[in-house]
Amino acid sequence: MAGRVTMVWHHFKEVFPMKLRTLSAAVASFVFALAMAGCAGNDTAAPSAQSSAPQATELPATTEAGSPADAHAHGDDHGALPVLADGQRWETDEPLRTAMSGIREDVAKNLPAYHESRLQPADAEALAAAVEGNVNYMIANCQLEPEPDAVLHVMIGRMMGAIAAMRADPASAEGMPQLVSVVNDYQATFDHAGLQPLTHD
């Protein structure tokens, strides 16, 4: 367990600059919890689009005791992140595809406002809440093999860092662009038919 936490923390420090790492201790706590959290089957309902994103009481945004990540913890040690051969993609399941489709849709909806420097704090907060809801849904419901599970956890950590930055400053370069990057990395490495990459245009 200690080795896994150390590995994820080192990766977190490499991915996010110091100014973002100091932004919120909750982000680091979330990443630590993800290092011990796996995807297990539940009957949690899929979150709706951002316009009706679930409230925190329905899908908690933290990983304290009782949250999806905590309730579905496992003891598998991911170790070093696996890499697929060129042209291959990680397998997905329906809950993961549902959650990532929702995240892509909500990011795409807010991307023009970000590029035009008119993304308002309320809209950034709504997007952050929608991403959190989808993350908690995928943690609670997806069933992945250990290798893609480990890769997904790193992407989740990146998304949580991005929404923390966006909540502090909707115009942050560590916010919306990082969400776009995660969606595109997922699209390029996971087998999710029909999901299109996002552009910065």
CB distance 99 to 182 below 8 Å: no
Strand partners, 73: 37
- Provide the token pair at 191: 């087998």
Closest CA to 81 of 26, 48, 35: 35
SS (H, E, C) the chain: CHHHHHHHHHHHHHHCCHHHHCCCHHHHHHHHHHHCECCCCCCCCCCCCHHHCCCCCCCCCCCCCCCHHHHCECCCCCCCCCCCCCCCCECCCHHHHHHHHHHHHHHHHHHHHHHCCCCCHHHHHHHHHHHHHHHHHHHHHCCCCHHHHHHHHHHHHHHHHHHHHHHHCCCCCCCHHHHHHHHHHHHHHECCCCCCCCCCC
Q: What does the pLDDT read at residue 18? A: 43
- 144 vs 87: CA distance, rounded Å: 20
- 136 vs 156: CA distance, rounded Å: 10
Answer CATH for 94-194 from 3.30.1380, 1.10.3470, 3.40.50, 1.20.120: 1.20.120
CB distance 40 to 143 below 8 Å: yes
Q: What does the pLDDT read at residue 27? A: 46
Instruction: Locate the domains of the chain by residue range.
Output: 94-194
Tens of pLDDT, residue by residue, the chain (201 residues): 334 433 444 444 444 444 444 444 444 444 444 444 455 555 556 665 664 433 333 333 333 434 443 333 333 344 467 778 788 999 999 999 999 999 999 999 999 999 999 999 999 999 999 999 999 999 999 999 999 999 999 999 999 999 999 999 999 999 999 999 999 999 999 999 999 999 876
Q: What does the pLDDT read at residue 19? A: 46
- 149 vs 90: CA distance, rounded Å: 9
Record the pTM.
0.68
